[in-house]
Amino acid sequence: SERLLKDDSFTSVHLEEYEVEIRETKLGREEFTRDIPNVSEKALQDLDASGIVLIGTKVGPGDILAGKVSPKSKSELTPEEKLLHAIFGRAGEDVKNDSLELPAGEEGVVVETRHFSRRMHMSEEQKKELNRRVREYRAEMNARKVKIFRMMAEEMNEVFGSPIV
């Protein structure tokens, strides 16, 4: 009845996790990016600067979840791309689209994204951000330790009836 619908009695939540990796290939390193060849701006509108879908985005089949490009070998180049390379050197497209797309039949809302990386593959800006976050975390943990220690000292004062130095 209406009450069952209103109370979301038949609503269920299904979480699906998708992963994508960046590898070092013989032709060079793959990378996350928003700059993907032969992809419309409309398809890229829900990606952040690094090519990862934004949290809260409603996604459907074929939508890009993570923009990823891989180096393309010379043998994979089309005749038009070979001509561009001959005229402009490396200015022509020398990467292929290897983006993670939502499979057919799936749809939903992005609730979380995570980015894991090794320090040696991080840019200087990413390393600075990581160090800042580590400092914040350590400061927060130290503050918690001090708070717990003070609470323990107060409880001991109550038990023993005199201040502990």
pLDDT mean over 134-162: 90
pTM check: above 0.95:
no
Q: Is the pLDDT of residue 145 over 90?
A: yes
Ranked by mean pLDDT, the top range of 103-107, 111-115, 117-121 is 103-107
CA 46, 49, 54, 59 dihedral sign is positive
The CATH superfamily holding the domain 14-111 is RNA polymerase II, Rpb2 subunit, wall domain (2.40.50.150)
Specify the pLDDT at position 75.
Answer: 66
Percentage of the chain modeled with pLDDT above 70: 87
Q: Can you tell me the distance from the alpha carbon of 95 to that of 14, in angstroms, rounded to the nearest whole number? A: 35
Q: Is the pLDDT of residue 25 over 90?
A: no
Q: How many CA within 13 A on the CB side of residue 12?
A: 3
Q: Mean pLDDT, the chain, as a whole number?
A: 83
Name the pLDDT band for 120 (thresholds 50, 70, 90): low
Q: Is the pLDDT of residue 165 over 60?
A: yes
pLDDT, tens digit (0-9, with 9 covering 90-100), for 35-81: 888 888 898 899 998 889 999 999 999 999 999 988 877 666 677 77
Q: Where are the beta strands (DSSP E) in 10-105?
A: 24-25, 28-29, 31-32, 58-59, 64-66, 68-71, 95-97, 100-101
Specify the pLDDT at position 77.
Answer: 67
Specify the pLDDT at position 73.
Answer: 73
Q: Is the pLDDT of residue 23 over 60?
A: yes
Task: Give the domain ranges of the chain.
Answer: 14-111, 118-165
